[in-house]
Amino acid sequence: MSIIEIIVLALIQGLTEFLPISSSAHLILPSQILGWQDQGLAFDVAVHVGSLAAVLIYFRKEVADILGAWFKSFGKQGVTEDSRLGWWIIVATIPGLVIGFLAKDLVEDFARSAWVIAATTIIFGLLLWYADATAKQTKTIYQLNWRSALIIGFAQVVAALLPGTSRSGITMTAGMMLGLNKQSAARFSFLMSIPIIAAAGGYYTLKLATGDEVIDWGAIVTGTILSFISAYACIHFFLKVIERMGMLPFVIYRLLLGLFLVVFLMV
């Protein structure tokens, strides 16, 4: 890859991984419009590692509190709000790990269609708007229960099966529909992304280690750093934007992007 391709693709991954606008919809644009070739498995792993590092560092206090409380809950301390939240993250992660792994070939063979991505970008953008405009949004992240966590987990499965849905977008939509306020829906979405990204990164790292792909270490290092920086900034500013403006800016963006893809594919 050229340095321009490395920079653009790493920034796209970092900026869109946690925004409710679909990273897959954006990652097809360079190949469809500019004719760029696939960036390869090693680069995919690198930019996901950068995104994972960003969310871990940004939520380092919450992650430390949840992990500490979760382990202590097996002892004398018992169950606390943080340990219970740790269990809900596990519950929400299981459907995505199981179904996502079993259906990965279906996704790779069928659902990477640009038409599928255009349609899901629009449809799930409208669902995000509906949740933002109509849901009660009165609960905090600590008012989740196992049923709500499981529903959000199955919503994450939809994103795994249908590129263009946006993992963060549909989990935030589900969270708000279940009564979570915007900040809590976003934070739970970010926290539950940690085990999913880690699992996906581990799987593809193993696949890379057992394959014969030639690794461009310059591209790997550059992609990881740029993905980390852009993802960290994205999380920070996203939480501020939804507090002031809600999800509407991202809904409008999704609709415009989806329409652009439809027009581009029809021309």
Q: How confident is the model at residue 163 (pLDDT cuts 50, 70, 90)?
A: confident
Which tokens is 123 given?
Answer: 């449809």
N-terminal to C-terminal alpha carbon distance within the chain: 28
Question: What pLDDT score does 104 carry?
Answer: 63
Which H or E element spans position 31?
Answer: none
Could you tell me the residue ranges of all domains in the chain?
A: 3-266
Q: Partners of 139 in the beta sheet?
A: 180
Contact 62, 123 (CB under 8 A): no
Spacing of C-alpha 137 from chain mean position: 21
Question: What pLDDT score does 180 carry?
Answer: 96
Question: What pLDDT score does 61 carry?
Answer: 96
Which tokens is 37 given?
Answer: 């070739």
CB-based contacts of 161: which residues, under 8 Å, 6+ apart? 99, 100, 103, 106, 107, 111
Most confident of 93-107, 117-131, 211-225: 117-131
pLDDT per residue over 165-175, tens digit each? 889 999 999 99
Question: What pLDDT score does 225 carry?
Answer: 95
Question: What pLDDT score does 159 carry?
Answer: 85
Provide φ and ψ at 180, rounded to 5°.
Answer: -70, 140
Most confident of 54-68, 93-107, 148-162, 199-213: 54-68
Report the range of poorest mean pLDDT among 47-51, 206-210, 224-228, 234-238: 206-210
Question: What pLDDT score does 267 carry?
Answer: 78
Classify burial at 88, counting beta carbons within 10 Å of its beta carbon; exposed 0-12, middle 13-18, buried 19 or more. Answer: buried
Give percent above pLDDT 70 in the chain. 93
Long-range contacts of 205-209 (CB under 8 A, 24+ apart): 205/45, 207/41, 208/41, 208/42, 208/45
pLDDT per residue over 45-103, tens digit each? 788 889 999 999 999 999 999 999 999 988 877 889 999 999 999 999 999 888 877 76
Question: What pLDDT score does 112 carry?
Answer: 60
Question: What pLDDT score does 53 carry?
Answer: 95
Q: Partners of 180 in the beta sheet?
A: 139
Q: How confident is the model at residue 205 (pLDDT cuts 50, 70, 90)?
A: confident
Cα separation, 155 vs 205, whole angstroms: 26
Tell me if the pTM is above 0.75.
Answer: yes
